[in-house]
Amino acid sequence: MTRLAIALFPGFMPLDAIGPYDVLRFLPDTETVFVAAESGPVRGSGGLTLHADAAIEDVDGCDILLVPGGRGVRDHEGRKSLISWIARMHATTSWTTSVCTGSLLLGAAGVLEGLDATTHWAAVDDLEAFGAKYTPERVVRQGKVVTAAGVSSGIDMALSLVELVAGAEYAQSVQLWIEYDPQPPHDTGSVAKAGPELTRRTVDLIGSLRRG
């Protein structure tokens, strides 16, 4: 039985956790446990709440660790126990993964020192402060560590992981089943495509929404 542990914390980004979950749950003989500082409801960004099945003190190992991002990742003082748990889990995982700014929690746990990694484009400096080298790709694998860029790339990361664990044909079948065939209405899904002016306006817009 493969154990998938998904970390939750106040302010996590819902799609960072649920997108990969809806892919990885198709891995053969896999059980999923959502883990937080304490079991029970955990409120994510935008108010969506998920239920943590277990407290971190009750989970002493997993095969796949998934760490989402979100506004709560920068509260290192408030995330001390979670960061320590991530470090302990990483010592024995088969795969340690993050989505978006979840990479900053991996960095705080000492997982990314000296590794290529990716994260949300607005958190590059924060990532490199932990000794990682930012790589502007949607999915970056370094040994057993797999990081994904911004929110939606978690699905790409999970499909890549399914291929590593169960083979290409199995991953193709999962992709078909969830009908993952992105056709976005605008080709502005990366800084390189959006350009500096739209990027600047986006930072201003999202910043004002977060303050509101």
Identify the pLDDT of residue 77. Answer: 75
Task: Match 């493969």 to its residue by tokens.
Answer: 2
Q: Retrieve residue 27's tokens.
A: 């891995």
User: How many domains, the chain?
Assistant: 2
Out of 23, 36, 100, 139, the active site residue is 100
Global confidence as pTM = 0.94
pLDDT digits (tens, 9 = 90+) for 39-96: 999 999 989 999 999 999 999 999 999 999 998 898 877 889 999 999 999 999 999 9
- Domain hosting residue 187, numbered range: 183-212
Band of the pLDDT at 212, cuts 50, 70, 90?
very low
Do 199 and 126 fall into the same domain? no
pLDDT at 126 over 80: yes
Q: Is 100 a catalytic site residue?
A: yes
Query: Which residue from 132, 171, 149 is spatially nearest to 23, judged by alpha carbons?
Result: 171
CATH of the domain at 20: 3.40.50.880
Same domain (yes/no): 162, 202:
no
Cα separation of 114 and 98, whole Å?
Answer: 16
Do residues 154 and 191 both lie within one domain?
no
Half-sphere exposure at residue 166, Cβ-oriented, CA atoms within 13 angstroms: 20
